[in-house]
Amino acid sequence: MSDSGLGFSHNRFIALIVSIAFLVVLFEGASELGGGMIKAQVEQTTSKFHPEKNAEDRLKPAMVLATEATIDNSVEETSEAVAAEWSAEGSCQQVIEGNDMLQFNLKEMVVSANCKEVTVTLKHTGAMPANVMGHNWVLTNNTDFMPVAQAGGAAGIENNYVPVGDQRVLAATTIIGGGQETSVTFSIDSLVVGDDYTFFCSFPGHYAIMKGAFKVI
């Protein structure tokens, strides 16, 4: 083959390589541009129908989002079930605290109807003596709460500010001072599931603030 022929073939080969390189660059640029256009289209479309999702979530496959939602829901449901089970098993033993600031640490107490008896333990976390800042725990139904609380003041501290022999009193502890604790155990057979009951401290003036709901479920 002549030198001129080799030169011609060599030039054609170089031109071919350059053409291929140009096509590769062009293809990559088009792919990137196309990907950007697709991404923009997805964001535009999904933002219209799912404005609550952020851009990152809108670009995730629908199956991934559905799986995440399912996992999150199952975890939440499991947590609720565990909490409900614990509440039912542990509700027969209740602990409540009162302090020198006229506060109970609980606003609601819930017990299971399966409890044969319920024990409520009251702890006074303050420092003042019983005759100054005494607390007790008294249970009545809602309608009897105020009459019993007012009658308790007349009963005096010697009777723990609870009217003696009053059938409206469903349960009551003794009066205690700071650093002390007391408890009362009672049957809930007479309590009705779903009815409204109130627990409170019957020390004069305390019952207006130190009170809460007692529920049987």
Looking at residue 165, its pLDDT comes to 95
Quickly state the pLDDT bin for 195 (edges 50, 70, 90).
very high
Looking at residue 51, its pLDDT comes to 54
Contact 162, 175 (CB under 8 A): no
- Which residues contact residue 91 at a Cβ distance below 8 angstroms, ignoring those fewer than 6 apart? 110, 111, 112, 115, 118
Give whole-number Cα distances, 60 to 8, 68, 138, 190, in Å. 53, 11, 57, 57
Backbone angles phi, psi at 139, to 5 degrees: -120, 130
The span from the CA of 201 to the CA of 162, in Å, is: 10
* Residue with more model confidence, 9 or 105: 105
Quickly state the pLDDT bin for 38 (edges 50, 70, 90).
very low
The span from the CA of 54 to the CA of 89, in Å, is: 42
Give me the torsion for CA of 164, 211, 176, 101, rounded to 10°: -140
Quickly state the pLDDT bin for 90 (edges 50, 70, 90).
confident
Looking at residue 84, its pLDDT comes to 47
Spatial strand order in the sheet of 197-200: 108-111, 211-216, 197-200, 138-141, 171-172
In this prediction, residues 167-192 reach a mean pLDDT of: 97
Looking at residue 36, its pLDDT comes to 53
Instruction: Check pLDDT > 80 for residue 16.
Output: no
Instruction: Check pLDDT > 70 for residue 55.
Output: no
Tokens (6 digits) for 125: 């976390």
The span from the CA of 197 to the CA of 113, in Å, is: 14
In this prediction, residues 44-66 reach a mean pLDDT of: 46
The span from the CA of 40 to the CA of 63, in Å, is: 20
Residues facing 95 on adjacent strands: 121
Q: Mind listing the domains of the chain with CATH numbers?
A: 3-87 (no CATH), 91-216 (2.60.40.420)
The span from the CA of 121 to the CA of 181, in Å, is: 7
Contact 41, 58 (CB under 8 A): no
Contact 160, 136 (CB under 8 A): yes
In which element (H, E) is residue 119 found?
strand 117-124
